[in-house]
Structure formats: structure tokens, C-alpha cells
Amino acid sequence: MEKDTLLMFSMTPLDKGESVSKYVSRSLDIIDKSGLEYRLNPMGTVVEGSWEEVIKVMSDCFEKMSSDCNRISVSAKFDFRKGKSNRISGKMQSVENKLGRDLKK
């Protein structure tokens, strides 16, 4: 399966108060061990794979979080581009090339 899909998502419990890094770190553990390329950013995590692969890792995170959280909000954004891979770094390089200088990443 081609790794033509980027998924950026964040998954947050709404019933655990304002500090939720304990729950977020469990998701990152799942993502880090999934074998997929990923990048953590301050507002979520970008995962690269086929549609099925990125859906599976998000669903694995949901299964874990829903085991002990009663209300969960998930924001997700998918970017599919047929026949393109290695986009997790390629998209940013393309923008830097157009600008002719480095950006903060």
C-alpha cells in the first residue's frame, strides 16, 4: 500500500480537567511504536501511511483512550495525494524552496 496519506490529529479527553498530557502521552506511545513515520507538533501529530494505516493508528489511540475517558474530542485532517510518498518532509521543503530560505520547524 502506498503511503500517500498524511493525517494530522489530536485526541483530547474532555472529562479530565485542563491538564491532559498523561492521556496524550499514551497516544504518542502507540504512534511511536506503530512503525509509521510521524512528527509531533504543539497542536497534534502528523502520521504518514496509506489511508488504512493512518485510520488504524488513530483508532488504536481511540480504543485506548475510551477505556478510561467518558468524553473524547478528536480533530483530524487528512491530505491524500495519489502517487506521492515521503511527503512528511517533502511538503515543508517545497515551501522553503519557493521562499528561498529556511523556516522554523
Would you tell me which residues interact with its own copies (CB under 8 A)? 6, 8, 10, 12, 14-15, 17-18, 20-22, 24-25, 28-29, 32, 37-44, 46, 51, 55, 59, 62, 66, 69-83, 87-89, 91-92, 94-96, 98-99, 103-105
Q: How far is the CB of 3 from its own copies (least distance, A)?
A: 13
Q: How far is the CB of 15 from its own copies (least distance, A)?
A: 4
Residue with cell 491530505: 79
CA distance 104 to 29: 25
Q: How far is the CB of 87 from its own copies (least distance, A)?
A: 7
**DSSP designation for 104:** -
CA distance 43 to 58: 15
Maximum CA extent, the chain: 48
